[in-house]
Amino acid sequence: MSINNSKSSPNNSDQDSKPSLTSQTQTLSSTQNIIAQTPSKRKLPSDSPISTADSLTPISKSSQQHLSSTSLSTKRPKIEIQPLSSEMIPENSTSSLPSSSKSHPIPSPKTLPPKYKEEEIVRIILQQLSDLGYTSTLQKLQEESNHKLESEIVTEFRTGIIEGDWRNAELCLNKMNIKSKHKHQSILFYIKKQQYLEALSSGKYKTAIKILQNELSTLNFHHKSLHQLTRLMLCTTTAEITEHIGWLGNIKDSRQALLDSLHEFIPSDIMLAPHRLQTLFDQALEYQKSSCIYHVSDGKNTLYFDHTCKHKPQFSEKPSKIMFSHDDEVWFVVFSNNGKYLASGSKDSTIIIWETENFDKYLTLKGHNNAISCLSWSSDDSKLLSASNDMIIRIWDIKTGACLKEIDKHTEFVTAAQWLPDGKSFVSGGLDKQLLLWSSDGQLLKQWISPRVHDLKVSSDGKTVVVADNENSIHIYNFVSLEPIKILKETSNVLSIFLASDCEHLLVGTQNNQLHMWNLLTSSVVQSYDGYKQGSFVTRCGLGGVNESVVYCGSADGNIHLWSRNSGMTIQVLEGHVSNVNCCSFYYYNNKHQVLATAGDDHSIRIWEQPQATNDPTAKQILLVLNEKKNFIIEDLDETHVFVESSAVQMIKSALDSVLDENTYKVDITIT
């Protein structure tokens, strides 16, 4: 029997040995032999942690029991049964095996009153049958329901578009009884646009000009689009047309795309939107995901049951490790990219590198003369960048602990610094209104003016840098041209930011006790996270877990809050620090084991790990009994899994081994 006791290091491979059980079957004449494994009825010692009375299997008094010694096992009891022969069944026996030749009537389903119109349901099913290619089934359902997917005019209209029979498509359009003149003109405009683009891409410029002047322009519609189409006359290749207007280029695909887009102007009772049932499925699944409090991954899509995430991103209520090696407030912590190290920076001006296998001290880096404000690992984890209130940036060699470069270009506090993804350069910012780009060896490459920098982040693709200033604004720059892209305005002072790996979402920590998730493409807040207390000092927020599904942030009251990124619901609140939590760092080892490091004003660094789990059903039953006295189970997950406090793992293993050693042997049961 073994308990999964994963450590924070990905290299941990310690495993408990699994003892084996060997069972023997003894043949008895004219009897049926059953060999089973069942707990002993021997009385447990008074100091035993649990009682096995509730787990004993009662045996009939008529049965003869023979006890013999066996070896320890954590597996389920194995039962071997000799099959009954025909000679063992009495001739006058009234019992018999069920005959496969008997037919059982299938009960008729109960008819429920429909919530939606029958015609809508049937037409959507008909469309799905058509998409799947079930033509004969489609015809039969139309005949039986007396509902058609669409009229013959609409079918002919579709054929005209796909085959490029534009004249017939226009005739069918006029017969489709679209009451809105605006929508009718829009459909006609997009049909003529398709004709124009096809003529232009095939080099038929006279035809294209004729369509543009005599047909498109006479519609007196979509003037901006008309000007754009006119400029396409300067294009010499289909690739240029595609680049300028986003046209697919391929005639077959572009015609299908045109047909799919026209549902916006054609009422659904005339022509259904494409793949309507699939759209409804997708919408239902997205709703289920949005309702999943612990949503961490999409998983495998299925229609058989609702979506739910089974693996909850929770931590043990107590830290597995507390480090007090700094002499003052700890302002920053960050895991290395490979998870082997944790770097911490303090107000005491020192930096400590920790090995994460046991969180032992590896290096202490000294050289700064003021508080450490920011730390950043290079992409290969060979170098560490440190920024300080002494206005100095230092580059450290992690193998030797030597300072490779000291940079003193900033004239005020350096508040942020980060390596670019390629590891060849890094960017720094401070209260002196400067953004500076440096080579990996500390040579200044570029310099540009910015607002006073409270925090900055570089996108994972290296194309964008995001800067939070002291005036409630967030500035987004093109990192190649250094030109500003946009400015986002927050409701209060911005204290920290975290740029998601998708480069499209930005988590913002504000001074009004609220985190905001921004969509950078739409420049809108898509989710908010409440509950933590923000003081007047910087508290850094972040994303972690599977697909960055967990939002985390420290609080001024010493707590650490975790939310579901998707739903905004609180997942967990960790208590432990006695004052402000300044920074958190989340690491997910091999998609299996998550660790959270937190730094506080109480001079401590605390390590929070996942509760340990067991996957043996026999062990679980013993754990449930043992838990009644010790109370170490955090959550009962399913038949074979529970989450337990990591501090209780050794006690659990000892108790389980003791109980199973004393209560395993073989029982032979002879039934006459």
Q: With 0-12 CB in 10 A as exposed, 13-18 as middle and 19+ as buried, what is 529?
A: buried
- pLDDT of the residue at 339: 92
CA angle at residue 563 from 562 to 566, to 5 degrees?
150
pTM assigned to the model: 0.60
CA 18 to chain centre: 34
**117 inside domain:** no
Whether 604 and 641 map to the same domain: the answer is no
Please give the structure tokens belonging to residue 187. 């459909």
Binned at pLDDT 50, 70 and 90, residue 661 comes out as low
Is 79 among the domain residues? no
304 has pLDDT over 70: yes
Task: Quote the pLDDT of residue 525.
Answer: 96
The radius of gyration computed from the CA coordinates of the chain, to the nearest angstrom, equals: 35
**pLDDT score recorded for residue 2:** 38
Are 23 and 666 in contact, with CB atoms under 8 Å apart? Answer: yes
- pLDDT (0 to 100) of residue 582: 95
Q: 364 versus 447: which is more confidently predicted?
A: 364
Query: By the 8 A CB rule, do 292 and 284 touch?
Result: no
112: its two tokens? 């429920």
**pLDDT digit string, tens, across residues 341-361:** 999 999 999 999 999 999 999
563 in the same domain as 653: no
Q: Which of 23-32, 288-297, 603-612 has the largest mean confidence?
A: 603-612
Residue given tokens 């410029």 in the structure block: 205
Q: Say whether pLDDT at 387 is over 50.
A: yes
Q: Assess whether 465 and 386 both reside in one domain.
A: yes
Q: What is the pLDDT of residue 296?
A: 65
With respect to residue 34, please indicate whether it lies within any of the assigned structural domains.
Answer: no
On the 0-12 / 13-18 / 19+ scale of CB atoms within 10 A, 367 is middle
Higher model confidence: residue 469 or residue 77? 469
For the ranges 256-270, 524-538, 649-663, the one whose mean pLDDT is highest? 256-270
The length of the chain in residues reads 672
CB of 399 within 8 A of CB of 407? no
User: Looking at the structure, do residues 352 and 417 belong to the same domain, yes or no?
Assistant: yes
Instruction: Output the CA torsion sign for 23, 28, 33, 38.
Output: negative
Q: How many helices (H) and strands (E) does the chain have?
A: 12, 34
Residue 37 lies in a domain: no
- At residue 184, the pLDDT reads 92
The rounded distance, in Å, linking the Cα atoms of 637 and 312 is 10
Tell me how far the alpha carbon of residue 522 is from its chain's centroid.
21
Q: Are 465 and 429 in contact (CB under 8 A)?
A: no
Q: Provide the 3-class DSSP secondary structure of residue 64.
A: strand
pLDDT in tens, 90-122: 444 444 444 444 445 555 555 556 688 999 999
In angstroms, the CA 165 to CA 170 distance is 9
- Banded model confidence at residue 86, pLDDT cuts 50, 70, 90: very low
> What pairing do the DSSP bridges indicate for beta strands 425-430 and 524-530?
unpaired
Query: Region 186-204: what's the mean pLDDT?
Result: 89
**Structural domains of the chain, count:** 3
- As given in the structure block, the two tokens for residue 129 are 């049958």
CA angle 649, 548, 355 (to 5 degrees): 50
Percent above pLDDT 70 for the chain:
76
Residues 605, 488, single domain; the answer is: yes
DSSP 633-653: EEEEEETTEEEE-GGGHHHHH
481-500: average pLDDT: 91
Which pLDDT score, from 0 to 100, does residue 24 have? 34
Top-confidence residue, 393 or 225: 393
Looking at the structure, tell me whether residues 397 and 262 fall in a common domain. Answer: no
Higher pLDDT, 621 or 138: 138
Residue in 605, 395, 421 with CA at minimum distance from that of residue 499? 421
Q: What are phi and psi of 228, to 5 degrees?
A: -65, -40
pLDDT of residue 617: 62
CATH number of the domain where residue 598 is located: 2.130.10.10
Q: What is the mean pLDDT of residues 539-546?
A: 90
- Residue 383 — pLDDT band, cuts 50, 70, 90? very high
Between residues 261 and 26, the one the model is more confident about: 261
Confidence at 309, pLDDT banded by 50, 70, 90 = confident
Same domain, residue pair 633 and 530: no
**Binning pLDDT at 50, 70 and 90, where does residue 35 land?**
very low
Identify the H or E element spanning 246. none
Confidence of residue 55 (pLDDT cuts 50, 70, 90): very low
The string of pLDDT tens digits covering residues 313-322 is 678 889 999 9
Tell me how far CA of residue 205 lies from CA of 228, 236, 345, in angstroms: 16, 11, 68
Long-range own/partner contacts, residues 26-30 (CB < 8 A, 24 or more apart) = 26/668, 28/670
Among the residues of 359-430, which ranges form H helices? none
Q: Are 387 and 472 contained in the same domain?
A: yes
Residues 559 and 629 in one domain: no
pLDDT score at 615:
55
Paired strand residues for 563: 551, 570
Q: Out of 242, 274, 306, pick the residue that ends a domain.
A: 274
Note whether residue 668 is domain-resident.
no
Q: What is the mean pLDDT of the chain?
A: 80
- Asked if the model's pLDDT at residue 276 lies above 50, the reply is yes
Last residue in a domain, options 274, 296, 331: 274
> In sequence order, what are the residues at sequence separation of 6 or more whose Cβ sits closer than 8 angstroms to the Cβ of residue 120?
none
Give 108's contacts (C-beta < 8 A, 6+ positions apart): none
Q: How far apart are CA 637 and CA 189, in angstroms?
A: 59
Is residue 86 a part of any domain in this protein?
Answer: no
Stretch 470-496: mean pLDDT: 89
Tell me: do 368 and 417 sit in the same domain. yes
Q: Rounded to 10 degrees, what is the CA torsion of 656, 659, 665, 671?
A: -100
What is the pLDDT at residue 303? 86
> 3-class SS at 617?
helix
Residue 28 scores a pLDDT above 50 = no
With CA atoms as reference, report the closest residue to 198 among 164, 223, 226, 225.
164
- The span from the CA of 84 to the CA of 78, in Å, is 19
- What are the phi and psi torsion angles at 375 (to 5°)? -135, 145
Structure tokens belonging to residue 227? 């000007």
The per-residue pLDDT for range 56-74, each reduced to its tens digit, is: 333 333 333 333 333 333 3
Kindly state whether residues 327 and 456 are assigned to the same domain: yes
627 and 602 within one domain: no
Which residues 6+ apart lie within 8 Å of 66 measured at CB?
667, 668, 670
Q: Which residues pair with 364 in a beta bridge?
A: 352
142 falls within a domain: no
Domain that includes residue 641, residue range: 623-658
Q: Which residue has the higher pLDDT, 492 or 11?
A: 492
- Dist CA 99 CA 108 (whole Å): 23
Check pLDDT > 90 for residue 88: no
Give residue-wise pLDDT tens across range 144-181: 999 999 999 999 999 999 999 999 999 999 999 898 98
Answer whether residue 178 is part of any domain.
yes
Residues 584-640 have pLDDT tens digits of 999 987 656 789 999 999 999 999 998 765 455 666 777 788 888 878 887 776 666
